[in-house]
Amino acid sequence: MSYTRRKIRGINFSFLLAAFIFAGWALFCAWYGWPRSFRGGSVAGFGIFAAAALFFMAFPILWARFPDKHPVNHELARYGDLREIAERLDIEMSEQVEVLGPFRFTATFFIYDSGHEFQIIPYDQIVAAHIDKGSGDDAPAVVVRTRKGRKYQWYRTWLQGIFDPEKTLEKIRAAAHLDEPKPSESSAV
């Protein structure tokens, strides 16, 4: 199975798993009458958890009906023809891939793959990359900017992934050739 298909199924599965968990809590509230702290609490608990389950279940159903709206397909279509980019990504992911935490470095793509989230940036679209130290006790963030003005920012946290920001930044800058002089700069000298 191709990488993009696995990723699409993985995100769909995570939404269905969340729906299943909320549905389980809704049944727990209905069966045991929880919470009992106020009158009708079990009905309120059941309603809230059932609504959350329906919310999370709706997304995979909508994505099955409208595949272009799926987060993976939407992200791939951002940089050209969906089928061409997906095919190129599948080929590159089947070859040599360097992995640093939730980041994947292929021949032409920089990929953020935290399991429940997916972002892809071709190296030729990256114009700047740096570390944002934040203020106080904030976790450092890797910040990447693209030619179209998009800003991607990833913090070193449990939810977004544990990684070494300096090493990741170094690899991004090397892969995107950000430290090399531009052709116009070298011809001016």
pLDDT in tens, 130-156: 999 877 677 889 999 999 999 999 998
97-181, CATH topology level: PH-domain like (2.30.29)
Please, which residues bridge with residue 143 across strands?
130, 153
Res. 115 pLDDT band, cuts 50 70 90: confident
- Give CA–CA dist 38/23, Å, rounded: 22
Q: Phi, psi at residue 68, to the nearest 5°?
A: -70, -20
Would the pLDDT of 189 be above 60?
Answer: no
Tell me, what's the pLDDT at 188? 52
Q: What's the pTM?
A: 0.85
Query: What are the residue ranges spanned by the domains of the chain?
Result: 3-71, 97-181
Question: Does residue 160 carry a pLDDT above 60?
Answer: yes
Instruction: Kindly report which listed range (27-41, 49-63, 156-170, 172-186) carries the lowest average pLDDT score.
Output: 172-186
Sheet holding 126-132, edge to edge: 126-132, 141-146, 151-155
Element (H, E) at 162: none
